[in-house]
Structure formats: C-alpha cells, structure tokens
A and B are shown apart, each in its own frame.
Chain A
Amino acid sequence: MDTQPIPERAPVVRPRRSPWAVRGEWLLELIIRFCGISAVLFVLAIFFFVFREAFPVLGREGFSLTQFLFSSEWYPTSATHVRYGTWALTVGSFSVTALAMIIAVPFGLGAAIFVSEFCGPRLREVLKIVIELLAAIPSVVWGFIGLTVMSKLIVDLTGAPVGVNLLNGGLILALMSVPIIVSIGEDALKAVPDSYREAGLALGATRWQLVYRVLLPAAKNGLLAAVLLGVGRAVGETMAVLMATGHAVHIPLGVLDSVRTLTANIAAELGEAPAGSDHYRVLFLTGVLLFSITFVVNLTADLVIRGIRRK
C-alpha cells in the first residue's frame, strides 16, 4: 500500500458528555466486571463455608482422617462407639457411577454418532428436541421412576429380594447422563471440519470407515470431554440415587446389592444431625470430599477440552 502524507488535522471539537453519562458508563462497567468474576467468588465462598463447617472435626480426639477415608464403618449415631468411615459410601458412589457409565457411554456416543452423521435433517431435529427434553426431567422424577417402575422390573426380571439397588441406581443415572453425552458428543462431531469427511469419502471410505477412522480420532478429545461431563453429572447426582439405590451402607458385591452414595448420605442425614455436632461436621467433611472428586473430574474435562481447541 502507498503511504500518503497524513494531512495536518484541525483540532477536533468533541461534544462534551454529561457527567451522568460518564458515571453511568463507569457503573455499568463495574457491574459487568462483577458479573464476570462472581463465579470465581461463589466457588471460593462455597468451598470456604463448607470447609469452615467441617474443619473443627479434624482436630477432634477419636477422629482420624485415615479412618474417615478408608474405613467402611459408618455408625454416626451409635450410643457406645461412634465411627465415621466413608469408604463404603465412596465405593457406592464410584460403583453406581461406573455402572451408569458402562451403560451410558456406548448408548450416548452411539446416539451422538447417529444424530450427527447418519440421520436425515428432519429426524435429527426431532431427536435433538426429545433428547433435550430428557435432560430437563427433574431428578426427583427419575427417582420416582427408579423407586416404582424400575424396582418392580428388577425384582420381576432378576428375582432380587429388593428392587432398589446398585443396578437400579446405575440405570437411572445412565438415563440421566445420556442426554449430556449425546449433546456434547454431537457438538464435538459437528466441530470436525467437513473437509475431513470429504477427504475420507473421496478416498472411497464407507460411512462406517469414515466414522471410526476419521471422525472418532478427530473428535476424540471432545468425545472424552462429553463422557467426563457425564461422569460429573453422575457423581454429583443426589435425589435420584437416594431414592433408587436402597440406602444401605455396604460395600456392594454384585449389581443387585443395595448401596449408599456420598451425596445421598449427606442429603439423608444432614437434617437430623444437630448443628455443630461431630456428626454434622463429618457430613460437611464428606461434602469436601465430594467437592474434591467432582473438581478433579471437571478439571480433567476442562483440560481435555482445552486440548481440542489448541489443535
């Protein structure tokens, strides 16, 4: 480009803005800034309050952190020998989540691949709306379904003595996480540039070869993030698992055993623990444990998603 000499400028006369406009803009900027950082503040505040309630129990005589983490004896209201071991609850949480993911991941990813690559535009719209509807069902309604429909089915089909158990909770959680996995997984597949599809097709790939040789490698980070967000949903879910898993503090030996999860335990017992008592504080400590678990899961998902963007 040619550089032209810049003509000398006449001094600009700016219309002066009223002081109210200046102040208004300043205020608006302040509000927006606050909105931006509020999320950080809230997370820190929640962590702070939960930890503050939990903290005093750490130094208490007769309480040991190892026992808290690794003992499966949870007798918070025993008259003679109070024990706070959350191992069975942690195992409960993890086993329900793992079972849910074993069911939800193939279903969710399969549905995501179908919606994004195989179905026609009209069917796709219908499916997406229905899947979003599935995500909007409140968890207590899922709990109801677990407690009534699912538990009866399980008793009839497997002959288990009780229908509310690990299998029931896993199925309900799977149904709850599938919509998340589908919608995030579909986004990840849609983010794969169309030029990759054309490249594969022009080389003579079949649709299925295109999916597993081109799309899955290209979208693997996004799909992994979809799965991890599904895991986050399943670990944190409370109401549905409280109603569907049977609520027995017990390390499960099979899918037909009843279990209790960390979340369900807090929800069920906090109302009955006297404020400030050891029991109350231990429940808060369970909250800290849960918080740490979901934090790690979400952080992993986040780092993985960031990994996609960089490429």
Chain B
Amino acid sequence: MSPNTPYCIATKELSLWYGRFQALIGVSVEIKHGLITALIGPSGCGKTTLLRCFNRVNERYGNVTTTGEIRVLGKNIYDPDVSLIELRKAVGMVFQRPNPLPISVYENVVFGLRIHSPARSLTRSALDEAVERALTEVGLWEDLKDRLHRKGTALQLEQQQKLCIARLLPLKPRLILMDEPCSSLDVEGTRAIEELMFALKGQYTIVIVTHNMAQARRASDECLFMLMGELIEHRRTEDLFLTPQDHRTAEYIEGRYG
C-alpha cells in the first residue's frame, strides 16, 4: 500500500445494508493524511458503521452488504487480492469500551507482533524494546514499568484505553480508528486520551467517532457531519462549527435535535 496518495481514506458512493436496513447511503468522503478527523452526528446516523468499514470489521456480522468503493492508502480494500490481515495491521482500531485482552500488560502490547511475525524472529530484547517504546509513546511506561506482568484487565479504565492504543503501535499502523474512545472515561481520562491523540497526530492519521460535540470541536482538524446514513457536511472543524453550510448541520450543532 503506497503512501503517495493524496488521501488516506477515500470512499466513493459507499452504501451499506444490515440485512434490509440501509445504514449508509452513497457516502463519498476523503480523509487527509496526518490529521484528526471527527465523525459526528446523532445516534444511529451511521458514523460507527462508516468507521467500521475502514478495517472491514463490519463483516463479522454476516448479513452485511456493501456497494461502492473504499480506498485505504490508495488501495481498494474490497479488491480480491487484499489481505484482511494486512489491512487490519495497517489500520488500528480503538473501541468504545476499553478492551485489553485478559493477559498481561506486556503480552497485550506484543500481541500484534506475535500474531504477525514468525515466532523465531521475535527475540526477547526486541519485544522488550517494543513494549517500552509503545508504552512510553502513550505515557504509560512510568506508571507500569514495574507492573508489566499484571493483567491488562486489572488496570484503571483510562490506563486500559491507553493500553489499547499502545498495543496498536508496534505494528506501525498508518491509520488509527477510534470509536468513541472516551465515552466510558471521566474528565481526566478524556483529557489524557485527547492529549495522546494530539501527540500521535501527524505520525498517524486518526479518525474518531464522537458523540461529544465539544470534543469534536476541540480535538479535531476536520469534521464530518452525518445524518440518517448520509454524509451532510465535511469541512475544517472551525468552519463547520462557525459557519455551517447546511441547515441540518447548523441545527444539530445548536442542539435542536440529537
């Protein structure tokens, strides 16, 4: 997958059905490299569905049909020669509820390396280094360096969510998808995750679904507003909030509905 394309993600006329219910209607969107792009909109507008298209985790429900095109890093991810494993390696995902695996902190971080590389190529020192680098990058190293063998599920929620971000990093993803990553965190935790997003921006492209308009406003560069499965507006965050073009966007950010 070559990085020399203008956009990190580009969809064309993307429609998606769960059974007979159409959740996305002709969405065409272009998401730029290195920015934080927020997806906003009321519940059920399809923002999480759109996010979950980008690494094809939607497909595990079986009754999903998709039409249109999704190019991630210049490559149509529905091409028959695309390997789901490679795609998901390049596109990391953070979920609404922190979901570290019930194994040690250390093993959580190296999980990706273990499943993607032959066992012989992983030396102890390489793994140790990967763990230190990833945990340092998310700001957990100082807190956890003496507790690497505790269970990941025993940490505080904020730390769990940071761990979920840290475990993506050893795979060197190009793109990180975040599905309401702060919705189960308190104010401090939310701030910590947002600061982490700022630190990671540039190096990684981040797409974040959020329910919290204030968060979209303070933490994103570009913003997409969706309603009833359609993309209504996609602009720079400041512009979208100050001078919305579409009256539905305006009404939503004023809080008339949603």
Residues of A at under 8 Å CB distance from B? 193, 195-206, 209, 213-214, 217-218, 311
On chain B, the residues within 8 Å of A202 by CB distance are: 55, 57, 88, 92-93, 95
A201-B88 contact, Cβ under 8 Å, with A196-B102, A218-B102:
yes
Give Cα A204 to B164, complex, Å. Answer: 14
On chain A, the residues within 8 Å of B88 by CB distance are: 201-204
On chain B, the residues within 8 Å of A201 by CB distance are: 57, 60, 88
Closest to B84 in A: A204
A217-B111 contact, Cβ under 8 Å, with A198-B57, A204-B84, A204-B85:
no
Q: Which of B85, B86, B114 contacts A213 (CB 8 A)?
A: B114
On chain B, the residues within 8 Å of A214 by CB distance are: 101
User: For chain B, what secondary structure do more than half of its interface residues adopt (helix, strand, loop), or is it mixed?
Assistant: helix
Give Cα A197 to B167, complex, Å. Answer: 15
Give chain B nearest CB distance to A263 CB in angstroms: 39
Closest to B153 in A: A311
A311 touches B102 (CB 8 A): yes
On chain B, the residues within 8 Å of A205 by CB distance are: 85, 115
B116 touches A195 (CB 8 A): no
Give Cα A205 to B85, complex, Å. Answer: 7
A217 touches B57 (CB 8 A): no
A213 touches B97 (CB 8 A): no
Closest to A202 in B: B93
Q: Which of B60, B97, B168 contacts A203 (CB 8 A)?
A: B168
What is the 8 Å Cβ interface bit string for chain B, positions 73-117, against chain A (1 contact, 0 not)?
000000000001111110011010101111100000001101110
A195-B95 contact, Cβ under 8 Å, with A203-B167, A214-B101:
yes
Give chain B nearest CB distance to A193 CB in angstroms: 8
A195 touches B115 (CB 8 A): no
Closest to B167 in A: A203
A199 touches B101 (CB 8 A): yes
24 contacts between A and B (CB under 8 A): A195-B95, A196-B99, A196-B101, A197-B60, A198-B57, A198-B95, A198-B99, A201-B57, A202-B93, A202-B95, A203-B88, A203-B111, A203-B115, A203-B167, A203-B168, A204-B86, A204-B88, A204-B115, A205-B85, A206-B115, A213-B115, A217-B102, A217-B103, A218-B102
A206-B85 contact, Cβ under 8 Å, with A201-B57, A213-B114, A213-B115:
yes
Closest to B85 in A: A204
Give Cα A193 to B95, complex, Å. Answer: 13
On chain B, the residues within 8 Å of A209 by CB distance are: 115
A204-B57 contact, Cβ under 8 Å, with A196-B101, A199-B99:
no
Give chain B nearest CB distance to A194 CB in angstroms: 9
What is the 8 Å Cβ interface bit string for chain B, positions 163-198, against chain A (1 contact, 0 not)?
010011001000000000000000000000000000
On chain A, the residues within 8 Å of B112 by CB distance are: 203-204
Q: Which of B57, B101, B116, B168 contacts A218 (CB 8 A)?
A: B101
User: Which of A198, A203, A218 is the most central at the interface, judged by chain B CB atoms within 10 Å of its CB?
Assistant: A203
Give Cα A206 to B100, complex, Å. Answer: 18
Closest to A200 in B: B101
On chain A, the residues within 8 Å of B111 by CB distance are: 200, 203, 213
A195-B99 contact, Cβ under 8 Å, with A203-B171, A204-B116, A205-B115:
yes
Closest to B111 in A: A203
Give Cα A201 to B92, complex, Å. Answer: 10
List 10 tightest A-B contacts by C-beta distance, closest first: A204-B88, A195-B99, A202-B93, A204-B89, A204-B85, A199-B99, A209-B115, A218-B102, A205-B115, A203-B112
Give Cα A42 to B92, complex, Å. Answer: 57
Give Cα A204 to B99, complex, Å. Answer: 15
Closest to A218 in B: B102
Give Cα A197 to B89, complex, Å. Answer: 16
Closest to A195 in B: B99
Give Cα A135 to B43, complex, Å. Answer: 46
On chain B, the residues within 8 Å of A200 by CB distance are: 101, 111
User: Which of A193, A196, A201 is the most central at the interface, judged by chain B CB atoms within 10 Å of its CB?
Assistant: A201
Give Cα A213 to B114, complex, Å. Answer: 9
Give chain A nearest CB distance to B160 CB in angstroms: 11
Give chain A nearest CB distance to B41 CB in angstroms: 22
Give Cα A193 to B102, complex, Å. Answer: 10
Known: A197-B60, A203-B92, A204-B171. 18 other contacts (CB 8 A): A195-B97, A198-B60, A199-B99, A199-B100, A199-B101, A200-B101, A200-B111, A202-B55, A202-B88, A204-B85, A204-B116, A206-B115, A213-B114, A217-B102, A218-B101, A218-B102, A311-B102, A311-B153
On chain B, the residues within 8 Å of A195 by CB distance are: 95, 97, 99
Give Cα A195 to B88, complex, Å. Answer: 16
User: Which of A193, A195, A204, A214 is the most central at the interface, judged by chain B CB atoms within 10 Å of its CB?
Assistant: A204
Give chain A nearest CB distance to B157 CB in angstroms: 13
On chain A, the residues within 8 Å of B171 by CB distance are: 203-204
Closest to B86 in A: A204
Give chain A nearest CB distance to B176 CB in angstroms: 11
Give chain A nearest CB distance to B202 CB in angstroms: 23
Give Cα A217 to B57, complex, Å. Answer: 22
On chain A, the residues within 8 Å of B84 by CB distance are: 204
Give Cα A230 to B121, complex, Å. Answer: 40
On chain A, the residues within 8 Å of B95 by CB distance are: 195, 198-199, 202
